[in-house]
Structure 1
Amino acid sequence: MGSGKVIAGSEPFDFQGKHVTVAGLGVSGVPAAKALHARGAAVTVVNDGDDARARAQAEELRALGVTVRLGDGATLPEGTELIVTAPGWQPGKPLFLAAREAGVPVWGDVELAWRLRGPDAAPWLAVTGTNGKTTTVQMLAAILKAAGLRTAAVGNIGVSLLDAVLGEETYDVLAVELSSYQLHWAPSLRADSAAVLNLAPDHLDWHGSMEAYAADKGRIYQGNRVACVYNAADKLTEDLVREADVEEGCRAVGFTLGTPAPSQLGVVDGILVDRAFVEDRHKNAQELAEVSDVNPPAPHNIANALAAAALARAFGVPATAVRDGLRAFRPDAHRITHVADIDGVAYVDDSKATNTHAAEASLAAYEPIVWIAGGLAKGATFDELVAKSAKRLRAAVLIGADRALIRDALARHAPEVPVVDLERTDTGAMLQAVTEARRLAQPGDTVLLAPACASMDMFTNYNQRGDAFAEAVRELGA
């Protein structure tokens, strides 16, 4: 960590009369355009797409006096003094290259929300990582609510930070999920405390390299006031803490699935314990909750719970609220969701496991497994995943456009595992995949949908893929 350097927050920004270009419509672009227009900016929205949804959003904004250009997101509008971009727009787009040439700053929606928050705004407890962000933020919000605090889970979780910052409701603290995209465009963000859950190769086509991806994740620690929470089992996250410049007195706090050292949270005899936020942490530990209070108690989900607990404890939340919040938490659909038991076989939907890191965590939670996997690889390789998980596999059923990559990895590292390779790529392939999995499974097995791939080759999103799996399981059990 930085040597006690105090980093100031963002300076006020007067939007009155400023020419601001908003790049992209959608969840973040529309609220950004409205907020800027309300503050006197001359707003132009540019958007690559020109579909029915975009046209409806454009009509709404034009009625307010906002200029909208559909189907042209590449050209920098004349006179632009600031760009506010949707988080997914890549840094290499011509619009941003032109902005760099012209010396025009680029903010994301998170940066805009940070700049627009009031002087008495709620502090942010921020979470990022390759996997587990949404679950951890939701756990954190549940813990904060159990402590009687007014809070909300916001950010990349689907609730606009702008809406939270500018809305009429007031909060004591916000639980904020941040993606690497959002962090890339948020230079002024200074969280009260923040956590990086894990780091594995992902979105490298967007960031350009693993180093750039990690650097953007590490931005979440800059200027932290109370605690930088890291994963003791993932050295990359600890390295990011070491490199961060933080406010004087900010602490590094680790979490581990083993016995915690001082300044860590961990697990002892089935109990989640805190050796960071206690008096004389070299000798004492505070019991927080039982492993059975975590739903579901898979190893990676226990790690999520420890990270959430660390952020809550950094904010002064009592131990009883950690326990009560974890007991109250219910995970979203398609995250290691138990669908049904049929003839002694469990069927589990983890469609949200869209990369190899998430799939590895999911596979580590069960044994033996009939694994349903495949989809869009996004440049990923599967040798390490298969090598680590081979001993847990009863069989594999492969679907999707890039299934051959997984099939080849299985041939190299688990040649004894039976593989069914389904060539069909229509949505009905899921019923066939589940039927094949049922044929291969034995009582006591788990049929696990943990694709390790994105879904868009066959489905609209991972939710639709998970729904198709659940529907197929129900059809088999009927």
Structure 2
Amino acid sequence: MGSQEVSSTVDWQGKHVTIAGLGVSGIPAARALHERGALVTVVNDGDDERARAQAAELEALGITVRLGDGATLPPSTELVVTAPGWQPDKPLFLAAAEAGVPVWGDVELAWRLRGDNGREPAPWLAVTGTNGKTTTVRMLASILEAAGLRTAAVGNIGVSLLDAVLGETEYDVLAVELSSYQLHWAPSLRAHSAAVLNLAPDHLDWHGSMAAYAADKGRVYEGNTVACVYNVADPATEDLVREADVEEGCRAIGFTLGAPGPSQLGVVDGILVDRAFVANRQKQAQELAEVSDVNPPAPHNIANALAAAALARAFGVEPAAVRDGLRAFRPDAHRIEHVADIDEVRYVDDSKATNTHATEASLAAYDSIVWIAGGLAKGATFDELVTGAAKRLRGVVLIGADRALIREALTRHAPEVPVVDLDRTDTGAMSEAVARAAELARPGDTVLLAPACASMDMFTNYNKRGEAFADAVRARADESA
């Protein structure tokens, strides 16, 4: 099993630190640095009731909080620690750059503070990519647990990395999900091994360009010690490996849905096999699990499982633990979640498919689909998505603010596919969408919610959108019972 050196300790006593943003990462960061003697000021754009309550708790500890003004750099600031979502072109960061003040994210701070409690820090197995991060990290944690290792799925997955590295629990290894935002602000992160699952245009308004987005994703490979895991089907991920500055002996490990070559993991006759972490990878292949052990066994989810397996094998996990971990794994809600079968039609909730890349993978998992799509497009275009899925579409039901963009792509590339355009953005639209999809569906079809868009035009988040779909489907199931 691998180990990593503790990064150099910072003397926080009397250091003026500005925390940018209250919330999941900002509050733990403020508390941790205050406890270490830093002079902490928290700045926050919002000044609502929730922010004021959070501010009051921090001020009671002696932390300064400035609400409604996240743009101005406080005097004497020596370091800015930012929430991952704050855009790099905010005036606060421009002022910091002009003053020569470094900016760290929550991941960078956690990386710098690991080992600060006197314990040997746990190595990080890191995962990034446009889609599949959370599922892969949770699969990885399940495999590591099956191997008897003390681990946790942390990072962008919702568990604070600071809590993981500074808490009471002593871990053997951490399965870390990292977004492009987090990687942008994590210059000194050095993982044991890391994977970039895929790359597709996303968050370009934040990064400014596809090249900048890809470069931030590629930071996950910097300084890797054992393995850089890439997607054979996505050459851009292998390009990032080639560009990375890694430790001597670190290997490039590919994963593929086809038969693997040497130094790859892949699939042969329904079996997940390893030709990377075996004694003779030119001639040997190690069986890890069956495709049926992956839940659900959709193509992109098998790819997630292979990436998780590659990282686990890089850490020395035995094949049986890969199989057992995959069998034990249960996907999160709203990720290709089977809701019900009604009149021989399958209803599937993939509300988490908030961009075209995720939706492309979702559509590829089924042969005949009535597709429910639409929402906030976030600048996306849909021609390529529709062209690739046209032969699978029985019909389409469109909802949401930017549905016209998808309708226009359907008119251009799938004119024969019937389209129901629901001219409404209220939350009740989902019940009508399910009803209209049921009218289009035939026995053997799948009614698939895979919106290819964000949800905030109609719902609080993708979870609420998925729940509305599931509620509508279950109500319909009750009626037909």
Same fold (TM over 0.5): yes
Residue 369 (structure 1) aligns with: 369
Please tell me whether the aligned partners of residues 372 and 450 of structure 1 are also in contact (alpha carbons under 8 angstroms). Answer: yes
Distance verdict in 2 for CA 1:148–1:227, change over 3 Å: same
Question: Matches of 1:122 and 1:9 in 2, distance apart?
Answer: 10
| Aligned-partner residue type, residue 18 of structure 1 | K
| Matched positions, count | 472
Q: Alpha-carbon deviation of 1:8?
A: 8.7
Residue 431 (structure 2) aligns with: 431
Question: Matches of 1:467 and 1:53 in 2, distance apart?
Answer: 25
Question: Matches of 1:209 and 1:137 in 2, distance apart?
Answer: 27
Residue 3 (structure 1) aligns with: none
Q: Alpha-carbon deviation of 1:12?
A: 2.2
Matched, 1:355 2:349: no
Question: Matches of 1:237 and 1:392 in 2, distance apart?
Answer: 28
2:85 to 84, 88, 93: 88
Residue 24 of structure 2 aligns to a residue in which SS? helix
| Aligned-partner residue type, residue 252 of structure 1 | A
Residue 115 of structure 1 aligns to a residue in which SS? helix
Where does structure 2 lack aligned partners over 5 or more consecutive residues?
Answer: none
| Aligned-partner residue type, residue 155 of structure 2 | G
| Aligned-partner residue type, residue 445 of structure 1 | D
Question: Matches of 1:202 and 1:86 in 2, distance apart?
Answer: 19
Matched, 1:238 2:238: yes
Residue 189 of structure 1 aligns to a residue in which SS? coil
| Aligned-partner residue type, residue 451 of structure 1 | P
Q: Alpha-carbon deviation of 1:50?
A: 1.0
| Aligned-partner residue type, residue 269 of structure 1 | D
Distance verdict in 2 for CA 1:9–1:244, change over 3 Å: farther
Residue 53 (structure 2) aligns with: 56
Q: CA RMSD in A?
A: 0.9
| Cα deviation code 1:360-412 (max 9, x no counterpart) | 00000002000000000000000000000100000000000000000000000
Residue 150 (structure 2) aligns with: 150
Question: Matches of 1:51 and 1:163 in 2, distance apart?
Answer: 26
Please tell me whether the aligned partners of residues 6 and 121 of structure 2 are also in contact (alpha carbons under 8 angstroms). Answer: no
Matched, 1:206 2:206: yes
Residue 256 (structure 2) aligns with: 256
2:24 to 7, 24, 27: 27
Please tell me whether the aligned partners of residues 125 and 311 of structure 1 are also in contact (alpha carbons under 8 angstroms). Answer: yes
Question: Matches of 1:283 and 1:382 in 2, distance apart?
Answer: 43
**Structure 1 stretch displaced more, 279-288 or 45-54:** 45-54
Residue 17 of structure 1 aligns to a residue in which SS? coil
Residue 289 of structure 1 aligns to a residue in which SS? strand
Residue 76 (structure 2) aligns with: 79
Matched, 1:176 2:176: yes
| Aligned-partner residue type, residue 45 of structure 1 | V
Residue 443 (structure 1) aligns with: 443
Residue 468 of structure 1 aligns to a residue in which SS? helix
Residue 303 (structure 1) aligns with: 303
Matched, 1:335 2:332: no
Matched, 1:40 2:59: no
Residue 64 (structure 2) aligns with: 67
Residue 4 (structure 1) aligns with: none
Question: Matches of 2:327 and 2:52 in 1, distance apart?
Answer: 44
Residue 365 of structure 1 aligns to a residue in which SS? coil
Residue 127 of structure 1 aligns to a residue in which SS? strand
Residue 68 of structure 1 aligns to a residue in which SS? strand
| Aligned-partner residue type, residue 93 of structure 1 | K
Matched, 1:280 2:280: yes
Please tell me whether the aligned partners of residues 145 and 325 of structure 1 are also in contact (alpha carbons under 8 angstroms). Answer: yes
Equivalent positions of 1:78-117 (< 5 A) are 78-117=75-114
Question: Matches of 1:53 and 1:281 in 2, distance apart?
Answer: 56
Question: Matches of 1:302 and 1:71 in 2, distance apart?
Answer: 46
Matched, 1:290 2:290: yes
Question: Matches of 2:142 and 2:45 in 1, distance apart?
Answer: 38
Please tell me whether the aligned partners of residues 17 and 40 of structure 2 are also in contact (alpha carbons under 8 angstroms). Answer: yes
Where does structure 1 lack aligned partners over 5 or more consecutive residues?
Answer: 1-6
Q: Alpha-carbon deviation of 1:52?
A: 1.6
Question: Matches of 1:106 and 1:419 in 2, distance apart?
Answer: 48
Question: Matches of 2:161 and 2:289 in 1, distance apart?
Answer: 30
| Aligned-partner residue type, residue 387 of structure 1 | T
Residue 26 of structure 1 aligns to a residue in which SS? coil
Q: Alpha-carbon deviation of 1:122?
A: 0.3
| Cα deviation code 1:409-458 (max 9, x no counterpart) | 00000000000001110000000000000000001000000000000000
Please tell me whether the aligned partners of residues 354 and 451 of structure 1 are also in contact (alpha carbons under 8 angstroms). Answer: yes
Residue 266 of structure 2 aligns to a residue in which SS? strand
| Cα deviation code 1:31-66 (max 9, x no counterpart) | 000001000000000000111211111111001000
Please tell me whether the aligned partners of residues 6 and 114 of structure 2 are also in contact (alpha carbons under 8 angstroms). Answer: no
| Aligned-partner residue type, residue 467 of structure 1 | E
Residue 273 of structure 1 aligns to a residue in which SS? strand
Matched, 1:18 2:18: no
Question: Matches of 2:376 and 2:278 in 1, distance apart?
Answer: 46
Identity of aligned residues (%): 84
Q: Alpha-carbon deviation of 1:9?
A: 7.3
Q: Alpha-carbon deviation of 1:10?
A: 4.3
Give the TM-score of the pair, scaled to structure 2. 0.97
Equivalent positions of 1:396-475 (< 5 A) are 396-475=396-475
Question: Matches of 2:368 and 2:139 in 1, distance apart?
Answer: 29
Question: Matches of 1:160 and 1:56 in 2, distance apart?
Answer: 20
| Aligned-partner residue type, residue 111 of structure 1 | E
Please tell me whether the aligned partners of residues 354 and 453 of structure 2 are also in contact (alpha carbons under 8 angstroms). Answer: yes
Please tell me whether the aligned partners of residues 10 and 188 of structure 1 are also in contact (alpha carbons under 8 angstroms). Answer: no
| Cα deviation code 1:245-281 (max 9, x no counterpart) | 0001000000000000000000000000000000010
| Aligned-partner residue type, residue 381 of structure 2 | T
